[in-house]
Structure 1
């Protein structure tokens, strides 16, 4: 295929479509439409998909863990690559009937009926798929002229529905591959979907919301039933505790008997002393249940037991109970309760970061800093990465200075750029930081063991070449001496690139000699090259 992809009926007439059969290897493509009448009027998404699939097949495209995990442990197996080479693609425009593609000689009401049935069958299509790809290159919507990218894809109600169907499936492998460009793909960060409720998605047709919400409820209920029957127990407890938050339902504080029954503990003593990854304390935190936290504390539960065994859900080993509360967007009262019950407000994970760094709301910042947590300027990096401008503003009220990088590897303008692809409010946050005198030309200066990792990555690239190394290696090699503009170019964020240039960003190279223009080109963000070339020094 080349140019705009043809619709379902045209491909069906040409005999190019295949009906699903048992054993078929299916690659499900979830994407955001680029116009109201056609999903890809210039074939731009299709071209990225073609190149990305070719890269997966020949091994030149490394699919690594998300940028938060910073791990090289995951990649596509050679067996999966072989299956992709022989696989079948599900892409809604040519896989199901489309009401926007009129078919000569076919009753329009029949087409609408078939399209409606196909949309209702999306959970089945997802369930039967072997690989799930979120196709999210940064492009411009033809009608609205707005940017379409990973953050906007995450906001769309139907995209969330497809995503939830995948992640709440009972399949063994529910991973999601996010394709940003022909040369960059990663497995989705687990918290990205947990922070984007299906209930609050954006819908072109508002009446779709009720159907999608019902779909989400069914998916969660099915997941819990499966985990209750087959385990693992810690996943069952996690999803049960987090269900009200996922579905935006009212929280209900449980009586002890109900708590023990729901989370499968025999006694309060067992729940309090349990040291598994989903202990009684963790169940109470993810449930937002302050009453049960007090009850467990009376049974001598440890409010400082570090997390473990939940990395696949986005909660990493050695992180604290307060971090569990912030990252899961609990009410500030949960943080205050934990501190009252002697949780260490300044406890740090193995990364050296405290809970205030991981604040997701202004209430989190206030609850921590008014209850013994120490002020740290680097906390702005965390809130700029994962929260919104209101949370950053709350830190600024406590006199956190965005101009002070201190001993950290980079400043808040670096951070907001590096994690901007999943944060729809990144530009607002960056604007706020610039208004408070954050330095747009400060450079990253990693040190210690991380600097050694950067040098090792740089050596690897010099031997193998930039394109043959995965994104984690590219990122580490690029970090020493990189500017916020360099990070914006590296991840391909057009609005941030423009914002930094408008505020005096200078296009200078990092320590490896890469200009922002080079970083954009090497990562296939070609839409930024004219803009960066104009401002090159």
Structure 2
């Protein structure tokens, strides 16, 4: 997803833009935006007040991607922009931490003081400000009008994304004023045009393509690297179905440009990765290569014996796995390629050092045939990551699970040192049908405290932002008698980490610590309801309450309501207050 935002060139804009700029890019100074109040004013009013500036080279621009909260106005009550103002103020002052998600935390990515200063001195792109007479997309409205300023500006959004230096996904949990739908990170990820903006940023040729996700005025983090790859641009939701084809072409153009750029500029490992993933990312059929064609396509030596000796981060085996080519994979492994090679150098793409090829196959949603090919040719089904997760804990669908179980993968034993059971890992990433199959195979929906000290119900609540179907998975676990009032009990070094986090929170205040520190401080004694409140998930909180969850404080004395307030999830307060009635 890009290098750390502490690099000197991290804020550089795209060196080789792909998309056409059909209408000028209008931006607002961050300093002016922070002085505004109430619902955002439209383009023509800001322009008449002299607050709009036409983009020119050298400007530092923050592109804000968001969902509209009504059909006529993106933010009729000004709540979304209020969160953005508070977030920017926290970023500029240094009081708001922006760091990787909990899974990616070892990467060490952070906002540097220089970047914080650039943001404060920079300019903001928000569609309502920047595009004249923009309206929400409606079927049959303005379909033939392609020459208006508004239409040209909308068509230029991919170009605006490329010109921006920082990309923010503004996703606080707020209600759409007409549909009553809860708009949040999960719903933002599902929207086709949001995915288009997201993809155009991530596939640009900027030195850094990180995405900052703003959950509330007190919570912001860098996006998990695998998220965009699991949200295909052509599979998004569109108000106007005709937009699907347009957006799919944007995604294809962005990906082809990325591959073309990497083919000459390198690195070769990234070129091979995107080339291998291309069919899956674009929802297209994989090419049917001969072995000779495969080696040439991915720029390996012509002689198989030499190619197999490639020890780069994208070896022939990994290229075959990511391409989903079981035939080529078998040919490589039968010629003594290593079925258990460990990954390295792909962490910014979501595949972490020390994970195995089999794990890469499960995480990239490869077919059961790819998994069975690896296993048939000696892949270790019980190899574990540095935190103790095996391929079963990273499984995505029932077909993958079936292959692993047939190979006698251990689906029960918690891994060390984190102490998470395979079903606790799978509950975060897999579909509900997979969790149901694991429970049918007698996986325990509860836990005996080890390591981090929690089980699958806590896991799905703490990581619900990464799953559209978290509530369904929690419902399945509860139906299998998961303890709705179980309390987390970290042990050993993890207990010490929690104590240290509690000390930090005591010194700095809960709201002035990072998301990871807050979570660790809250963890001892935390219930699933407390976890749902911590991340602001109303659907999960309601489900847990309906299944007899009690309002219990953690060991620090924080009630679920306290945790919601501390993390800026005020939308949960009416629901949590009703639990005590």
Is 1:482–2:507 an aligned residue pair?
Answer: no
TM-superposition CA deviations, 1:511-531 (whole Å, max 9, x none) = 222111111111111111232
TM-superposed CA distance for 1:112, in Å, is 6.8
Q: Distance in 2 between matches of 1:225 and 1:111?
A: 30
Q: Distance in 2 between matches of 1:442 and 1:522?
A: 22
2:164 corresponds, among 129, 145, 149, to 129
After superposition, residues 92-491 of structure 1 pair within 5 angstroms as: 92-100=127-135, 113-266=148-301, 267-376=303-412, 378-405=421-448, 407=450, 409-491=453-535
TM-superposed CA distance for 1:497, in Å, is 0.9
Q: Distance in 2 between matches of 1:513 and 1:121?
A: 51
Count of aligned pairs: 532
Q: Relative to structure 1, is the Cα distance of residues 346 and 24 closer, same or farther in structure 2, using a 3 angstrom cutoff?
A: same
TM-superposition CA deviations, 1:284-326 (whole Å, max 9, x none) = 1101111111111122111111111111000111111111001
Gaps (5+ residues) in structure 2?
1-35, 137-141, 414-420
Q: Distance in 2 between matches of 1:34 and 1:269?
A: 58
Task: Answer yes or no: is the 8 Å Cα contact 1:271–1:281 preserved in 2.
Answer: no
Q: Relative to structure 1, is the Cα distance of residues 39 and 405 closer, same or farther in structure 2, using a 3 angstrom cutoff?
A: farther
TM-superposed CA distance for 1:111, in Å, is 9.2
Point out the more displaced range, 157-166 or 140-149.
140-149
Q: Distance in 2 between matches of 1:119 and 1:326?
A: 37
TM-superposed CA distance for 1:397, in Å, is 2.1
Bigger share in helix: 1
Is 1:82–2:126 an aligned residue pair?
Answer: no
Q: Relative to structure 1, is the Cα distance of residues 140 and 175 closer, same or farther in structure 2, using a 3 angstrom cutoff?
A: same
Secondary structure of the residue aligned to 1:475 is helix
Q: Distance in 2 between matches of 1:48 and 1:491?
A: 16
Task: Answer yes or no: is the 8 Å Cα contact 1:154–1:422 preserved in 2.
Answer: no
TM-score by length of 2: 0.89
Q: Distance in 2 between matches of 1:483 and 1:137?
A: 23
Task: Answer yes or no: is the 8 Å Cα contact 1:66–1:186 preserved in 2.
Answer: yes
TM-superposition CA deviations, 1:369-389 (whole Å, max 9, x none) = 111211227222122211221
Q: Distance in 1 between matches of 2:403 and 2:107?
A: 36
Secondary structure of the residue aligned to 2:148 is helix
Secondary structure of the residue aligned to 1:153 is helix
Secondary structure of the residue aligned to 1:482 is coil
Task: Answer yes or no: is the 8 Å Cα contact 2:146–2:152 preserved in 1.
Answer: no
TM-superposed CA distance for 1:405, in Å, is 4.5
Q: Which has the higher contact order (CA 8 A, sep 6+)?
A: 2
TM-superposed CA distance for 1:221, in Å, is 0.3
Q: Which residue of 2 aligns with 1:104?
A: none
Secondary structure of the residue aligned to 1:12 is helix
Q: Distance in 2 between matches of 1:270 and 1:451?
A: 49
After superposition, residues 490-529 of structure 1 pair within 5 angstroms as: 490-529=534-573
TM-score by length of 1: 0.96
Q: Distance in 2 between matches of 1:391 and 1:132?
A: 34
Task: Answer yes or no: is the 8 Å Cα contact 1:303–1:343 preserved in 2.
Answer: yes
Point out the more displaced range, 275-284 or 525-534.
525-534
Q: Distance in 2 between matches of 1:441 and 1:399?
A: 21
TM-superposed CA distance for 1:404, in Å, is 3.7
Aligned-residue Cα RMSD (Å) equals 1.8
TM-superposed CA distance for 1:436, in Å, is 1.2
TM-superposed CA distance for 1:108, in Å, is 13
Task: Answer yes or no: is the 8 Å Cα contact 1:97–1:111 preserved in 2.
Answer: no
Q: Relative to structure 1, is the Cα distance of residues 415 and 170 closer, same or farther in structure 2, using a 3 angstrom cutoff?
A: same
Q: Relative to structure 1, is the Cα distance of residues 70 and 343 closer, same or farther in structure 2, using a 3 angstrom cutoff?
A: same
Secondary structure of the residue aligned to 1:191 is coil
Q: Relative to structure 1, is the Cα distance of residues 108 and 270 closer, same or farther in structure 2, using a 3 angstrom cutoff?
A: closer
Q: Relative to structure 1, is the Cα distance of residues 39 and 493 closer, same or farther in structure 2, using a 3 angstrom cutoff?
A: same
TM-superposition CA deviations, 1:235-280 (whole Å, max 9, x none) = 1111111111111111223211111111111132233222221111
Point out the more displaced range, 221-230 or 498-507.
498-507
TM-superposed CA distance for 1:35, in Å, is 1.3
Task: Answer yes or no: is the 8 Å Cα contact 1:98–1:111 preserved in 2.
Answer: no
1:52 corresponds, among 81, 87, 95, to 87
TM-superposition CA deviations, 1:332-362 (whole Å, max 9, x none) = 1111110001000111111111100011111
Q: Distance in 1 between matches of 2:505 and 2:187?
A: 32
Q: Distance in 1 between matches of 2:525 and 2:45?
A: 52
Q: Distance in 2 between matches of 1:454 and 1:151?
A: 28
Secondary structure of the residue aligned to 2:359 is helix
